[in-house]
Amino acid sequence: MEHSSVEDESTLFCIIRNGKRSLQQIVDEWIDQYKADRDSGLRAIMQFFISASGCKGKITSQMQSSMEHVAIIRRMTEEFDEESGEYPMIMSGPQWKKFRSNFCDFVETLVKQCQYSIIYDQYLMDNVISLLTGLSDSQVRAFRHTATLAVMKLMTALVDVALTVSIHLDNTSRQYEAERQKTRDKRASDRLEALLAKHQELEENMDEIKNILTYTFKSVFD
């Protein structure tokens, strides 16, 4: 497979490695990309984890649409130049130290920015976790190391989101009870309905996060 020697500077890996823009801005732009075309958004994230492992392989849209993650990882493993033994997570020098810190912050910022929407779409998280799980099980040390670190940061961020959701749940429960205990003539039924709907949505979100965390933990650390 031919590689062009010119690196695509517009990839998430290059943008984050170059460190010229805030992670918040990078994540917000990625969210716009994902909302416009979720497959291209997902591919950008998958490519980021592959490139951050030091692999030069490229995930094409055709591979994404026709291949399982296991097959994609196998293809990327073939593309891996393991001769050097060097990869971003262990490379020395200030640029790579900064990249490692940005790598972790990027994963956490991504989850934080998506916590009210995209992480519940049962597409992004399912695919990212499936890829990272496969990479964390790879015979290539760089894939294993990078993916396991990403999973740990992902889970830390999800636990923070779960905490936020549980606080919102408590508040909504209290507001609902306060409204329900008002006398009938003072009670706003539309407000009661809205609070109940909000409560149900938050409970579903909480279940979804618990499922993601349990599944991820079992897949990677069991």
Instruction: Give domain status of residue 5, yes or no.
Output: no
Inside any domain, residue 53 = yes
pLDDT of residue 4: 45
Is 74 among the domain residues?
yes
Q: What is the pTM of this model?
A: 0.90
Whether residue 25 is contained in a domain is answered as yes
Q: Which domain holds residue 141?
A: 12-221
| For range 200-222, the mean pLDDT | 92
In a domain, 1, yes or no: no
pLDDT of residue 1 exceeding 60, the answer is no
Is residue 210 in some structural domain?
yes
In a domain, 3, yes or no: no
Give the total number of structural domains in the chain: 1
pLDDT digits (tens, 9 = 90+) for 145-173: 999 999 999 999 999 999 999 999 999 99
Distance in Å from the first CA to the final CA of the chain: 36
Q: Is residue 2 part of a domain?
A: no
